[in-house]
Amino acid sequence: MPKAGRFGRMPWLWLSLLVFVIDQASKFYFDNALSMYQQIVVIPDYFSWTLAYNTGAAFSFLAGASGWQRWLFALIAIVVSAVLVVWLKRLKPDETWLAMALALVLGGALGNLVDRVLFGHVVDFILVHWQHRWYFPAFNVADAAITLGAILLALDMFKSNKSGETTP
């Protein structure tokens, strides 16, 4: 695993880059391989590939707005990304899980930022459902990385042996 030094946990940016590359490559593939809302069943009744565009944020929040949301979400992603890089730089050597979490969120944020700025929408293609009765909104690799990173961040907050803390 990358070690911290003068640059904090910045070596974890390799994970951000990996998430970004896989995200962009998969979006490019599915955007060219599928037509809008076409479904390719992978696991019947549970999992499909499909192509959908999201002009909003998570769960299509503000997708119906007039277009201003594109730049608002882009600005938010830029600010969050800058904060994450600074945070990574300031991490201590023992904060590996936190570094991994931040790197995942950063890679996902940058992946969706590129879509939003270049195309005006985010390309989604993963569809989880249950017997055609329940559908989770379509998402992509960037969304999955952001979600996993957020879960790791939450778990990190509850760790009992954080540096500087004493356990009873």
Q: Which residues are catalytic?
A: 124, 143
CB neighbours of 90 closer than 8 A, spacing ≥ 6? 8
10 Å CB burial of residue 167 (0-12, 13-18, 19+) is: exposed
Residue 84's nearest CA partner among 71, 97, 103 is 103
Could you tell me if 152 and 167 are in contact, meaning their C-beta atoms sit under 8 angstroms apart? Answer: no
> Phi and psi for 162 in degrees, rounded to 5?
-65, 145
Task: Give yes or no for a contact between 127 and 48, defined as CB atoms under 8 angstroms apart.
Answer: yes
